[in-house]
């Protein structure tokens, strides 16, 4: 996998292959395809920002059979592949050559390439693509229908320039042929580079060179950020179409963002402007309202997320109703039929079956039982400025509105907390806790107060009174 390129036109401090596309570095996609096909080992050839590229790729594919090769100086695609010889010296078999900046290549196309290679019986097979405007690409030159060689755009004769079939840069080559042939490649061409494409003519002299034709967008690389966005759009629509074919309804696929690796069950309906990223898992018959953002979260069957609900590393059980505007932060774990309404924030909170917090609440570091009713304005005071503490609410607890639960604190099964209470001590099960001061009604106070104010105004108010009255 060639990943050594500088990517000058990205105008970036970051290596080109590390620029994200749908949440993952560009090179994630071709690497993933190679690994899915069982390629082993996989050798990323790194050069520009080699250390960063290697680190990122190792993080992405921790358990994969990776061996990195360094191309010190970029002297052309043949030189890049030669850099991998050492890493592959004990490998005998077919070598798949891919670019790290071509993200949309499909596994099916690579599998078709492998099949064509087997059936053709030659030493090299390649992927080609037909372009309206082939400017800049290597042309696939055929004689009597058979691939004979590839000529780079800059080296083409006027007739060769008319050829629309282009080289995609994806090859399958027998190792027995590859290394010996690479050693014979010269840099006597328009660009003074070692062209990998020179292999094709050598291979064609030994046997057939099958070419699998693929769609342009599958073989298109990324040279600048405009192309990066174009590939991202293609990938987005491809992923979305795949989910729709698997039974997921997307009201507006153009504004639905779903990363590779997300799974969604059938009969789930997704409104416009929804984003599903990371290892998110959505069940069947889930309704996801407009503007919801789900990252690395799971949502079980039959749950409804009303608009603008945000989940991050959260687990949501079956038949819950969340939102609009609920925010579930990491460590949230909801059992079935939980209801969370607008402006309810949860973090490291476990909520039992059927528990409800329908308006304005913060539930952090909380273990909450089933059938609990949490009133508007309830806050778990989990932080004392140094440490975090846990609030525990038993089954069937009722928390009145505008209550604070100063953790660590426990409220036993079935206990009630009166509205406006600041709970600082454990509440035994079955009891009522109220901490607000008793209410006093002063009858006739309003009239008496008005009269007093009027009188003091007549007797000449002090300057400070005027200011406070104003
Ligand atoms: C290459 C092909 C061309 C094909 C086109 C498809 C050659 C000589 N030409 O041209 O036939 O139509 O791809 O996109 O192979 N790279 C390295 N080290 C190097 C040189 C390149 O790692 O020394 C990497 C680049 O980062 C890039 C890939 O190889 O990912 C292709 O290199 P690039 O220079 O873009 O090749 P093209 O001139 O486009
Ligand atoms: Ca290129």
pLDDT in tens, 69-88: 999 999 999 999 999 999 99
Indicate whether 209 and 247 sit together in one domain: no
**Which residue's alpha carbon is nearest to atom 3 within ligand 1?**
138
Q: Tell me: do 230 and 211 sit in the same domain.
A: no
Atom 8 in ligand 1: residue holding the nearest Cα: 195
376 is in an annotated binding site: yes
The torsion defined by the Cα of 53, 56, 57 and 61, in degrees rounded to 10, comes to: 170
Last residue of a domain, one of 159, 193, 218: 218
Name 29's Cβ contacts closer than 8 Å, sequence gap at least 6.
Answer: 21, 103, 104, 105, 235, 260
Average of per-residue pLDDT across 143-147: 97
Which residues have CB less than 5 Å away from ligand 2 (the ion)? 221
Residue 15 lies in a domain: yes
pLDDT digits (tens, 9 = 90+) for 192-232: 999 999 999 999 999 999 999 999 999 999 999 999 999 99
Interval 254-270: pLDDT, tens: 999 999 999 999 999 99
CA-to-CA dists, residue 110 to 36, 64, 270, 292, 357, angstroms: 10, 19, 32, 36, 51
Each residue's pLDDT tens digit, 287-333: 999 999 999 999 999 999 999 999 999 999 999 999 999 999 999 99
The catalytically annotated residue of 48, 153, 359, 389 is: 359
Residue 446 lies in a domain: no
Assigned token pair, 253: 């696929």
Residue 6 pLDDT: 87
**Ligand nearest to the CA of residue 169, numbered in listed order:** 1
Q: How far is ligand 2, taken at its centre, from the CA of residue 242, in Å?
A: 28
Ligand 1 pocket, residue 134 CB under 6 Å: no
CATH number at residue 59: 3.90.550.10
Within a domain: residue 168?
A: yes
pLDDT at 468: 47
Kindly report the number of other CB atoms within 10 A of residue 71's CB atom. Answer: 22
Nearest ligand, measured from the Cα of 219: 1
Judge if 76 and 141 occupy the same domain. Answer: yes
Residues 203 and 289 in one domain: no
What pLDDT score was predicted for residue 460?
A: 74
Question: For residue 221, which atom of ligand 1 is closest to its CA?
Answer: 14
Residue 302 is assigned to a ligand binding site: no
Does 278 belong to an annotated binding site? Answer: no
Identify the weakest region by mean pLDDT among 233-242, 340-349, 407-416, 458-467. Answer: 458-467
Nearest protein CA to atom 39 of ligand 1, as residue? 137
Tell me what the mean pLDDT of segment 340-367 comes to: 98
pLDDT greater than 90 at residue 466: no
What are 273's two structure tokens?
Answer: 């402007």
The pLDDT of residue 462: 59
Q: What percent of the chain has pLDDT over 90?
A: 96
Q: Is the CB of 208 under 6 A from ligand 1?
A: no
By residue range, what is the domain housing residue 231? 225-433
152 is in an annotated binding site: yes
Residue 372 covered by a domain = yes
4 lines ligand 1 (CB under 6 A): yes
Residue 258 and residue 380 share a domain = yes
In eight-state DSSP terms, residue 268 is: -
280 and 185, same structural domain? no
Residue 230 placed within a domain: yes
Atom of ligand 1 minimally distant from the CA of 193: 8
**Using a CB cutoff of 8 Å and minimum separation of 24, what contacts does 300-307 make?**
300/336, 301/265, 307/271
pLDDT in the model for residue 234: 97
Q: Helix 107-120 crosses helix 28-36 at what angle (to 10 degrees)?
A: 50
75 in contact with ligand 1, CB cutoff 6 A: yes
Proportion of the chain above pLDDT 70, given as a percent: 98
Distances (CA, A) of 349 to 277, 332, 345, 398, 417: 22, 5, 10, 17, 19
Choosing from 168, 195, 218, the residue where a domain stops is: 218
Identify whether residues 272 and 358 lie together within a single domain. yes
Distances, alpha carbon 386 to alpha carbons 111, 198, 347, 412, in Å = 57, 66, 17, 27
Is residue 324 in some structural domain? yes
80: Cβ below 6 Å to ligand 1? yes
> Ligand 1 in contact with 71 (CB < 6 A)?
yes
Whether 359 is catalytic is: yes
Consult the annotation and say whether 404 binds a ligand: no
pLDDT of the residue at 463: 55
Are both 88 and 212 inside the same structural domain?
A: yes
Q: Which of 201, 218, 235 is the last residue of a domain?
A: 218
User: Do 141 and 285 sit in the same domain of this protein?
Assistant: no
CA 256 to chain centre: 13
Q: Given a cut of 80, is residue 102 above it in pLDDT?
A: yes
Q: Is 330 in the pocket of ligand 1 (CB under 6 A)?
A: no
User: Atom 25 of ligand 1 has which residue's CA nearest to it?
Assistant: 5
Question: Omega of the bond prior to 324 within 30 degrees of 0, cis?
Answer: yes
Residue with CA at minimum distance from ligand 1 atom 13: 169
What's the gap in Å between 324 CA and the centre of ligand 2?
Answer: 46
23: left (phi > 0), else alpha (psi -120 to 50), else beta?
Answer: left
Cβ proximity of 395 and 354 under 8 Å? no
Instruction: Spell out where 137-209 has E strands.
Output: 139-143, 146-151, 165-174
Q: What pLDDT, on the 0 to 100 scale, is given for residue 73? A: 95
Task: Please compute the mean of the pLDDT values over residues 124-150 and round it to a whole number.
Answer: 97
Tell me: pLDDT of 470 over 60. Answer: no
Report the chain's mean pLDDT, rounded to a whole number.
Answer: 96
136 is in an annotated binding site: no
- Whether 464 has a pLDDT exceeding 70, the answer reads no
The atom number, within ligand 1, closest to the CA of 2 reads 22
| Pocket lining: 150 vs ligand 1, CB cutoff 6 Å | yes
Whether residue 461 lies inside any domain: the answer is no
Q: Which ligand is nearest to the CA of 139?
A: 1
Report the distance separating Cα 61 and Cα 64, nearest Å.
5
Query: Does 210 lie in the same domain as 299?
Result: no
Determine the distance separating the centroid of ligand 1 and the alpha carbon of 77, expressed in angstroms.
5
Q: Per the structure, how many domains does the chain have?
A: 2
Is pLDDT larger for residue 409 or for residue 7?
Answer: 409
For residues 113 and 262, state if they share a domain.
no
- Alpha carbon dihedral 424, 426, 430, 435, in 10-degree steps, equals -20
Residue 263 counted as an annotated binding residue: no
pLDDT number for residue 386: 95
Is 81 domain-assigned?
yes
Q: Is the pLDDT of residue 363 over 60?
A: yes
CATH number of the domain that residue 361 is part of: 2.160.10.10
Tell how far the Cα of 439 is from the centroid of ligand 1, in angstroms: 80
Residues 290 and 405 in one domain: yes
């Amino acid at each position: 996998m060639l990943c050594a390129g500088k990517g000058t036109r990205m105008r970036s401090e970051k290596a080109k292959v590390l620029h994200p596309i749908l949440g993952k570095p560009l090179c994630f996609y071709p690497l993933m395809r190679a690994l899915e096909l069982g390629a082993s080992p996989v050798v990323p050839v790194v050069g520009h920002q080699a250390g960063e590229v290697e680190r990122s790729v190792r993080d992405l594919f921790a358990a994969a059979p990776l061996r990195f090769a360094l191309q010190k100086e970029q002297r052309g695609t043949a030189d890049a592949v030669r850099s991998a010889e050492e890493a592959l010296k004990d490998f005998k078999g077919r070598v798949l050559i891919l670019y790290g900046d071509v993200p949309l290549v499909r596994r099916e196309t690579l599998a078709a390439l492998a099949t064509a290679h087997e059936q053709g019986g030659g030493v090299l097979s390649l992927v080609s693509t037909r372009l309206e405007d082939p400017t800049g690409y290597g042309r696939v030159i055929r004689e009597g229908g058979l691939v004979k060689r590839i000529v780079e755009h800059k080296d083409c004769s006027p007739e060769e320039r008319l050829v629309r079939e282009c080289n995609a840069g994806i090859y399958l080559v027998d190792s027995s042929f590859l290394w010996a042939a690479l050693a014979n490649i010269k840099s006597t061409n328009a660009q003074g580079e070692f062209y990998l494409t020179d292999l094709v003519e050598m291979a064609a002299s030994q046997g057939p060179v099958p070419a699998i034709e693929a769609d342009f967008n599958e073989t298109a690389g990324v040279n600048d950020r405009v192309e990066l966005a174009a590939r991202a759009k293609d990938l987005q629509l491809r992923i979305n179409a795949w989910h729709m074919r698997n039974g997921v309804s997307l009201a507006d696929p153009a504004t639905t963002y779903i990363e590779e690796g997300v799974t969604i069950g059938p009969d789930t309906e997704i409104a416009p402007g929804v984003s599903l990223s990371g290892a998110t898992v959505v069940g069947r018959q889930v309704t996801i309202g407009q503007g919801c953002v789900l990252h690395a979260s799971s949502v079980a069957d039959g749950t409804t997320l009303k608009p603008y609900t945000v989940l991050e590393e959260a687990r949501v059980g079956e038949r819950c109703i969340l939102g609009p505007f609920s925010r579930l932060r990491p460590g949230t774990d909801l059992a079935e039929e939980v209801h969370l309404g607008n402006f309810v924030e949860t973090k490291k909170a476990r909520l039992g079956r059927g528990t409800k917090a329908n308006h304005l609440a913060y539930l952090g570091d909380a273990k909450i039982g089933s059938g609990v009713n949490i009133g508007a304005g309830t806050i778990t005071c989990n932080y004392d400025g140094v440490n975090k503490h846990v609030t525990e609410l038993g089954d069937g607890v009722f928390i009145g509105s505008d209550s604070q639960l100063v953790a660590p604190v426990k409220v036993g099964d079935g206990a009630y907390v009166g509205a406006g209470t600041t709970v600082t001590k454990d509440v035994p099960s079955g009891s009522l806790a109220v901490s607000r001061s008793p209410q006093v009604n002063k009858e006739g106070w309003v009239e008496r107060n008005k009269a007093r104010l009027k009188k003091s105004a007549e007797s000449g108010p002090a300057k400070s009174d005027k200011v406070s009255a104003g």
